[in-house]
Structure 1
């Protein structure tokens, strides 16, 4: 880390909702989604909330040698947002536990509040993380059984 992450550190990030972020466009390969309302998909909104928190961490990370990945989301999608509107996402750091950071986050479109909740991110060494993914892929390609009980990785390996 370049600097210690401060509790209460706040940030704001804006994003114009593109047509590809709507339910029918995002899930275009799922027939029953094609007739759904043309509004911002919850899954896409979650991604934008995550990116806003990543943006908020940037001043504290030695990017790209240090990065962060989402580990927990707990959001309420409160109102629909049509494409073309601007999301304004505001957040603040609630807690820091080692390399894990917890945020309070809210989003508004051009008319109203559309989302609120909590998000956690884990600071990672991307080279170490890529090695972990490569080992997992090698195990999968080698035909490792998926019938075995899952093994919970140590917290510092996530």
Structure 2
């Protein structure tokens, strides 16, 4: 992690919502989801917020050796967004405490604010993290 990764970094990211990011696409195996309205799914919204946070700090990491993983999300999904609209996400690094990062996140779809809240990420060594995940998977297969 570069010493320039500090609170105050602001990043804005835009994404046009395709049909593949709506509620019925979230879990195609779920008949319940298949019956729900075709609007931007909360699960995909969380992923979009994570993506924006990752992009915001990417220049400050020794990528791909250093990466971050999401550890906490606290947002409200305030408005429905149909496919075709562009969502603009604004993230701000509000705290860097060692490897623990806290972001304020907000997104709008040009008509409504669709989310506000916070997101926390943790800096990892990718190789070490993958090694532990593989060990965990192997321990459940024995």
Which residue in the other structure is 2:135 paired with? Answer: 135
> What is the CA distance between 1:27 and its match in structure 2?
2.1
CA RMSD of aligned residues (A): 0.9
Q: 1:56-114 CA distances to partner (integer Å, 9 max, x unpaired)?
A: 11111111111111010001000000011111000111111111100000001121110
Which whole-Å CA distance do the structure 2 matches of 1:131 and 1:102 have between them?
26
Matched, 1:67 2:64: no
Which residue in the other structure is 1:83 paired with? Answer: 83
> What is the CA distance between 1:8 and its match in structure 2?
1.2
> What is the CA distance between 1:2 and its match in structure 2?
2.9
Which whole-Å CA distance do the structure 1 matches of 2:25 and 2:101 have between them?
32
Which whole-Å CA distance do the structure 2 matches of 1:14 and 1:49 have between them?
11
> What is the CA distance between 1:44 and its match in structure 2?
0.5
From the CA coordinates, give the structure whose radius of gyration is larger. 1
Which whole-Å CA distance do the structure 2 matches of 1:18 and 1:102 have between them?
29
Which residue in the other structure is 2:7 paired with? Answer: 7
Which residue in the other structure is 2:108 paired with? Answer: 108
> What is the CA distance between 1:3 and its match in structure 2?
3.4
Structure 2 unmatched runs, 5+: none
Which whole-Å CA distance do the structure 1 matches of 2:25 and 2:53 have between them?
25
TM-score (norm 1): 0.87
What SS is found at the alignment partner of 2:75? Answer: strand
Which whole-Å CA distance do the structure 2 matches of 1:131 and 1:24 have between them?
34
TM-score (norm 2): 0.96
Task: Indicate if the aligned counterparts of 1:3 and 1:61 stay in contact, CA closer than 8 A.
Answer: no
Q: Any runs of at least 4 consecutive aligned residues in structure 1 with deviations exceeding 4 A, and if so which?
A: none
Which residue in the other structure is 2:121 paired with? Answer: 121
